[in-house]
Amino acid sequence: MRLLFLGDMVGKTGRTAVWEKLPGLVADLKLDFVIVNGENAAGGFGITEEIFLETINAGADVVTTGNHVWDQKEAVSFCTRHDQFLRPANYPAGTPGKGSGLYYARNGARVLVANIMGRVFMHPELDDPFKAAEAILAACPLKEQADAIVFDFHAEATSEKQCFGHFVDGRASLVVGTHTHVPTADHQILNGGTAYMSDAGMCGDYDSSLGMEKEEPLNRFISKMPKGRFEAASGPATLCGLGVEISDSTGLAEKIAPVRIGPRLAETLPAFWQ
């Protein structure tokens, strides 16, 4: 199975680039399943229902989120209407929406996708992500109820992300980190067969500070005084994520490689897809 994961869409330039390029990628690369993190898609803060639907229409099978999931007030209501929209699973019981779901890929495979948020340097601090993952895996084990399992681990600390990867190694197809908006160079297949990357990076303008116009973040570092609001950068976007090939027989990863498409970073596509 060919799976594409795209990191956090940031602002109009990021989401538009995804909408324009994803249909061609799905067709040209014969992708079976696509996951996009959309938590920064609306001006850099949260996601609206319209943006969510446009992302699904462009070819995403699931849209994940993170700590900005509720920044747009309408998310509290629309999250309950759409099965393909995920918020972090380790929110307390009773939180609207859901944190995981079982979906069908284009090749007929059953794909469990779970959205988990870390707790180190994160706000709000949610329930234990490891216990949340354990419960999800117990309810839908790999190669029993699911042919592939993917975790979007939305977290700040790379140590927490790495430990989470080792925690589910051999029981999940892929653990990919989001939130820091900077693609890491540690894509690998762990000892138990789980593909791993600390952060997929963002889909946004890299002539920025994490997708925001750089002047105000720079001002705050220098002066410690806000002069204005953070605004999403509006230059040409680079898509960042990763591609994974998952074994149909074991549900574990066979190949992994970064995906970068756009004007700012060195472009790369998985050689095994070309």
181 has catalytic annotation: no
27: left (phi over 0), alpha (psi -120 to 50) or beta: alpha
DSSP conformation letters of 148-186: EEEEEEE-S-HHHHHHHHHHHBTTBSEEEEESS-S--S-
Q: Radius of gyration (Cα) for the chain, nearest Å? A: 17
Q: Please pick, among 68, 154, 179, 181, the residue that the annotation labels catalytic.
A: 68
Measure Cα distances from 97 to 77, 80, 88, 270 in Å. Answer: 8, 5, 9, 34
Strands (E) located in 75-210: 100-104, 110-117, 148-154, 174-178, 188-189, 195-197, 202-203
Residues designated as active site? 68
